[in-house]
């Protein structure tokens, strides 16, 4: 079991690239995307301010709709396929997963159960934040899986 909690997040400016890919190619695509964004930031004399993230707009393992990038300290203009965006403000249910990326589905299952038990509904979009790089042993890799949520009962307060 991995710990789950609710967090309220403020809007955060990002640089990201949106793409479609089969799940088996995500590792390669993430490497390309994160490398391009870090290179662009370096050209500007800037760095990411947080871990790499990915936004999953669907869960079609053959044709995933993904946006990947980094948060930045202040809005930065995009260039080419690198887009200036922002992560939304809101309440998120978060599961703190530790283990290999190919086992992260357990965190999704656990988070889905946690959200329902607490009386919330996920938005349908999923986020992952990656705290470790390829040099970290797979069994020690830290990933946060998060869903934006709303209460099932519209009169219930959002958790903070």
Helices (H), the chain: 26-43, 105-117
Q: Using one digit for the tens of pLDDT, what is the confidence trace for 24-47? A: 999 999 999 999 999 999 999 999
pTM of the shown model: 0.92
In this structure, how many other beta carbons lie within 10 angstroms of the beta carbon of residue 91?
18
What is the structure's pLDDT at 129?
A: 98
Task: For the chain, 160 residues long, give each residue's pLDDT as a single digit of tens.
Answer: 999 999 999 999 999 999 999 999 999 999 999 999 999 999 999 999 999 999 999 999 999 999 999 999 999 999 999 999 999 999 999 999 999 999 999 999 999 999 999 999 999 999 999 999 889 999 999 999 999 999 887 555 555 5
What is the structure's pLDDT at 133?
A: 87
H or E segment to which residue 128 belongs: strand 126-130
What is the structure's pLDDT at 153?
A: 77
Residue 87 β-bridge partners: 12
Burial of 68 (0-12, 13-18, 19+ CB in 10 A): buried
d(CA 71, CA 82): 13
Write down all domains in the chain, each with its CATH number in brackets. 4-151 (3.20.80.10)
- Per-residue burial over 132-158, b if 16 or more Cβ lie within 10 Å, else e, is eeeeeeeeebebbbbbbbeeeeeeeee
Q: Using one digit for the tens of pLDDT, what is the confidence trace for 53-63? A: 999 999 999 99
């Amino acid at each position: 079991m991995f710990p789950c909690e609710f967090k309220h997040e403020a809007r955060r400016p990002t640089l990201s690239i949106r793409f479609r890919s089969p799940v088996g190619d995500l590792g390669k695509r993430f490497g390309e995307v994160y490398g391009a964004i870090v290179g662009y930031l370096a050209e500007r004399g800037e760095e990411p301010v947080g871990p790499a993230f990915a936004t999953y707009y669907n869960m079609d393992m053959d044709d995933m709709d993904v946006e990947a990038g980094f948060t930045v300290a202040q809005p930065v203009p995009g260039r080419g396929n690198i887009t200036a965006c922002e992560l939304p403000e809101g309440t998120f249910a978060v599961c703190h997963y530790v283990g290999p990326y190919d086992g992260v589905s357990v965190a999704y299952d656990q988070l889905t159960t946690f959200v329902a038990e607490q009386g919330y509904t996920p938005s349908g979009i999923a986020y992952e934040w990656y705290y470790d790089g390829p040099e970290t042993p797979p069994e020690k890799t830290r990933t946060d899986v998060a869903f934006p949520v709303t209460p099932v009962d519209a009169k219930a307060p959002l958790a903070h």
